[in-house]
Amino acid sequence: MTIEEVQNEIIDEFSMFEDWEERYQYMIDLGKDLPLIEEKYKTEDNIIKGCQSKVWVHANMKDDKVNFTADSDAIITKGIIAILIRVFSNQHPKDILEANTDFIDKIGLKEHLSPTRANGLVSMIKQLKMYAIAYQTQLN
């Protein structure tokens, strides 16, 4: 699936819920299915700076596609990173770098986060794209 197709799938899923309490619960459920980072990667180097909670992300490249694993010590944050990983994992670095993140506004996520969590969301996206830059450089 392309990044856009995954984003559209997420938009469709979130549109099934009538209120934000249900959407938060769905995000928590998504966090439970997150491909977890191995303990050995839960290091200071893999913590996303700018998040209120601790969020660790690890990336590797397989068949010219970036794969992410992550974890967080907060359930909502874990759900947020799970959504981002679902969008960006198993994608080519170039596609990750060119992707927009309008789907976040379309599902209403940013407007329902506290300012510190919204900043954390931006930091997560930035970090995932930084990994993509590093891997794209390797491909060139």
Report d(CA 121, CA 62) in Å as an integer.
26
> How many structural domains comprise the chain?
1
Residue 116 token pair: 């510190």
At 104 the pLDDT is 94
DSSP 1: -
d(CA 115, CA 103): 19
- List residues with catalytic annotation: 51
Q: What is the CATH number of the domain that holds 47?
A: 3.90.1010.10
* Residue that the structure tokens 């209403």 belong to: 108
Structure tokens at 102: 């309008």
- 130: containing domain: 3-139
How would you write the pLDDT of the chain (140 residues) with one tens digit per residue?
A: 999 999 999 999 999 998 999 999 999 999 998 888 999 999 999 999 888 899 999 999 999 999 999 999 999 999 999 999 999 999 999 999 999 999 999 998 888 888 888 899 999 999 999 999 999 988 87
Residue 73: helix, strand or coil by DSSP?
coil
